[in-house]
Amino acid sequence: MRIFNINSQVTPDIEFIKKYISYGFIFNKILKNMDIFIVNEELMDVINPPLEEPEISCADEMIKSNANKISALRHPMAIAIANVFEDEKDKNMKRDEFTDISDILGKCRKVKYNVSGFYAGYSTIDNIFNSIFKYNSSLDKNMYDLINNNHSSIDTNKIKKAIFICYERIIKSSTDLKVDPNTAFLITLFHELTHAYMDSSKKLDYYNYRNRIIEESLCEAMSYDCFKGTEFDGDVAKFVFESDKPLSYKCGIYISEIAKTIPLISIVNRWKHGNVKEILFYFYEFEKLSDDICKVLKQGPFFNRTNIFYNIANRSDDYASNLLAMIIVEKTFEML
């Protein structure tokens, strides 16, 4: 791991980072070849322009007013799964048509969200450095590595993975919450390392909102999970769950709830490998909704999980990820 400051006025306490980076031991392998660049707010927005996210209160209203379309709020998974069967009955509906959560939330008022961290995989590194050098043509490629205390020449062709972090922005958001910015830096780093671990960007369309909900909520839950049971637990919970983040990030609350029962890494690994349906089955286990599902379907006790799983297993991956995103959003709103 190397950390370079490109143009930020402030940098985190490197001794603190070195001491506590081991809380993210799960990322050890990725960290070995990871270069981390600290940038100011303006450059962060050049690297990753602000995203449009649905305003939380509007999204809440929209989800509730579409409850009949999506599912009832009390037991979303039971009804959502039951809807799979309802769809079957509707001869006019093609097998894999569904109410897309992106369409529902697309009608919401939007807020701009300026990110504090950004993970860049191999395919995007070149473009990013081009835009950085365009932004600051006098930038010296011989940079000081804060971790190893030496100068290192940045050869953009050799950088395979990079994380960009805006510490100025982290200081602002953590100070509001009375959280130590060094801890907040590590939280942000672990969030980005989860993106790097899953490396799902090459497989999925991040700009499709249902994918973003799943991806960001998993990263938030993972960054919290790294600190669970440590002296930073309370601060991290505040920074992850109470800060003014958009909906897709806030959904980490529900994932963290699930992670009390199911090992989070097993959910993350399934998303990494695109096994969305298996995640749905995990959620089913977590929610223990078999009775409700039987009631909804007006089936006796012999209507078992195999039937439900079989039905979902036959659906497209898009159908499964949409259902998963809906469940995550609905359950999150129950918890907010």
Which residue in the set 44, 214, 219, 327 belongs to the binding site for Zn ion (CB under 5 A)?
Answer: 219
Number of residues that bind Zn ion (CB under 5 A): 2
Nearer to Zn ion, 216 or 330 (CB): 216
| Cβ density class 131-167: b for 16+ within 10 Å, e for less | ebeeeeeeeeeebebbeeeeeeebeeeebebbbbbbb
Q: Which is nearer to Zn ion, 53 or 216 (CB)?
A: 216
CB of 191 to Zn ion, least distance (A): 6
Kindly indicate which of the ranges 54-62, 95-103, 216-224, 322-330 contains the residues binding Zn ion, using the contact rule CB under 5 A: 216-224
CB of 219 to Zn ion, least distance (A): 5
| 11-19, 213-221, 230-238, 310-318 -> range binding Zn ion (CB under 5 A) | 213-221
**Tokens, residue 236:** 């991290």
Nearer residue to Zn ion within complex by CB, 241 or 319: 241
Instruction: Mark out the alpha helices in the chain (DSSP H runs).
Output: 14-20, 28-32, 41-47, 56-65, 67-70, 76-89, 101-106, 122-135, 167-176, 181-198, 209-227, 233-241, 247-250, 252-258, 264-272, 276-287, 290-296, 305-313, 317-335
What are phi and psi for residue 161, nearest 5 degrees? Answer: -140, 140
32 Cβ neighbours under 8 A, 6+ residues apart: 1
Report the candidate in 255, 295, 335, 334 with the shortest Cα–Cα distance to residue 74.
334
Q: Which is closer to Zn ion, CB of 222 or CB of 259?
A: 222
- DSSP assignment of 247-309 equals HHHHTHHHHHHHTTTS-HHHHHHHHHTT-HHHHHHHHHHHHT-HHHHHHHTT--TTS-HHHHH
Stretch that binds Zn ion, among 10-18, 129-137, 169-177, 217-225 (CB under 5 A): 217-225
Is the Cβ of residue 214 or residue 326 nearer to Zn ion in the bound state? 214
Site string for Zn ion, 166-205 (x = CB under 5 A): ----------------------------------------
Instruction: Kindly state the smallest distance separating residue 216's Cβ from Zn ion, in Å.
Output: 5
For residue 116, the minimal CB distance to Zn ion (Å) is 9
Measured from the CB atom, is 104 or 219 closer to Zn ion?
Answer: 219
Residue number, 6 or 219, with CB nearest to Zn ion: 219
Token duo for residue 284: 């089913």
Which of these segments, 5-13, 84-92, 210-218, 234-242, binds Zn ion (CB under 5 A)?
210-218
Residues numbered 20-39 forming contacts with Zn ion, rule: CB under 5 A: none
Tell me the closest approach of the beta carbon of residue 83 to Zn ion, in angstroms: 30
Residues forming the site for Zn ion (CB under 5 A): 216, 219
